[in-house]
Amino acid sequence: MKRNAAFVKLTHWEHWPAFTYYMPLLPLFLVRSLKARHPIYFTVTNPGVLYSGNGTESKFKTLELVPEKYRPKGFLFCKNDSLERLENRLSEAKIEFPLIAKPDIGFRGYMVKKIKNLDHLKKYLTLLNENTIIQEFIPYQKEIGVFYYRFPDKKKGSVSSVTIKKFIRVTGDGKQTLAELIQKDERAFLYKNLFTILHRDKIDKVLDRGQEMILSVIGNHSKGTQFINGNHLINNNLKDFMDGICQHIQGWNYGRLDIKYKDYSSLMNGTDFKILEVNGIISEPTHIYDATDENASFLNALKSINKHWDIMGKIAVQVHNEQNVPYPSVGAYLKNILWLRSYSKKLKKLNSIDL
């Protein structure tokens, strides 16, 4: 019997939409706001980032807070920049194809694309028509998300969540087409429509026996990447590694670093890795989405989110009281959120277009 991807996503909490995780926690969130005596007190948690990283911040500017040696080569292609100079700018930045293009303001992996050539890039930029990060493609096949926080009066911080990102791959048997292999795979079939578009030039081809193929290189849950609980990796070595990096990220106290790396040993030695993104207050401890973990449950996922929100709130209050960082205007913030809703609808719509 043919499996129904929509039914699986509906009946497995790992795939439920974000509001199902947040709505039950709103009463607790409101109580904390009342105690802080300001409805958006949490927006000063990371004073170096617009609204502490609520989703409307420039990802390019936020990544620039990271020391240059730790981040990929890249530049910001603004909405009104000339396409005629694009090739020269790529050359100046020493970025070759394939490369990664993504909206400067974005989330959930919408419109994050691996771009194969100049024509493809120009088509992408014309379609998106927004400020865009153009970034070198990092070929390392491992990616990890590390949730880190530090109270501003402390020199050292804590690692509260580690997520190992497992890219979906299939292996050929010399008989089945790529489409059949995707449909047969326990996880890949959930993202069949996405993978059919990404691999449309080879979807009906038969993979040789033993031939392995990675279906997506974008480490986002909505792109099919599986999130594995990596909390067993939390130890003093990882904490020291994160402290060594994050102490150089001014104005960032709380959130998740997404890191691509060659192997874990090299990563702990501080080599062969790049920080792809710096995420702020809308970061999640994404290990909660590993439904295969023996301790995983929807209730435990809620508990973890609530725990992190509590930490975020305490940091925000300390930043406000001890560093004299004022809380922003509620009116301006609400205007910002309304813009984000409209903008997100645009990204979601564009994301479904076959490039």
**Choice among 103-107, 160-164, 296-300 with the minimum mean pLDDT:** 103-107
Q: How far apart are CA 135 and CA 120, in angstroms?
A: 15
Paired tokens of 3: 């499996």
Buried b (16+ CB within 10 A) or exposed e, 201-218: eebeebbeeeeebebbbb
- Give residue 2's pLDDT: 65
Question: What does pLDDT average to over the chain?
Answer: 94
What are 204-230's pLDDT values in tens digits? Answer: 999 999 999 988 877 787 778 899 999
| Average pLDDT of span 5-18 | 91
- DSSP letters spanning 170-183: EE--SSSBHHHHHH
Q: How far apart are CA 350 and CA 355, in angstroms?
A: 10
The percent of residues above 70 in pLDDT, for the chain, comes to: 99
Residue 167, CA distances (Å) to 14, 147, 259, 282, 327 in order: 16, 20, 14, 23, 40
- Give residue 34's pLDDT: 97
**Choice among 135-139, 197-201, 279-283 with the minimum mean pLDDT:** 197-201
User: Does the structure show a pLDDT above 60 at 173?
Assistant: yes
User: Does the structure show a pLDDT above 80 at 3?
Assistant: no
- Give residue 123's pLDDT: 96
- Rounded to two decimals, what is the model's pTM? 0.93
